[in-house]
Amino acid sequence: MRPKIYLFGDSITEFSFADGGWGAALAHHFSRRVDVVVRGYSGYNTRWALKVLERVFPEYCDGGGDGAPLAVTVFFGANDACLPDGYGAFQHVPLHEYKQNLNSIVSFFKKKWPATRILLITPPPIDEEGRLLNPYIKNPSNEPERTNNAAGDYAKACIAVATECGVPVIDIWTKMQQIPGWEKACLRCTKLEACHTDSKSKPTQPIELL
Helix, strand or coil for residue 109?
Answer: helix
Residue 143's pLDDT is 72
Active site (catalytic) residues: 11
Q: How confident is the model at residue 188 (pLDDT cuts 50, 70, 90)?
A: low
Residue 24's pLDDT is 93
Q: How confident is the model at residue 177 (pLDDT cuts 50, 70, 90)?
A: very high
Segments in the chain forming alpha helices (H): 11-14, 22-29, 46-56, 95-112, 128-133, 148-165, 172-177, 182-185, 204-209
CA distance 143 to 151: 16
pTM: 0.87
CA distance 102 to 132: 29
Q: How confident is the model at residue 154 (pLDDT cuts 50, 70, 90)?
A: very high
DSSP designation for 16:
G
Residue 189's pLDDT is 44
Name the nearest CA neighbour of 15 among 207, 208, 188. 188
pLDDT tens digits, one per residue of 67-85:
799 999 999 999 999 999 8
Ordered by where they begin, the domains of the chain are: 4-209 (3.40.50.1110)
Name the nearest CA neighbour of 45 among 96, 90, 112, 14. 90
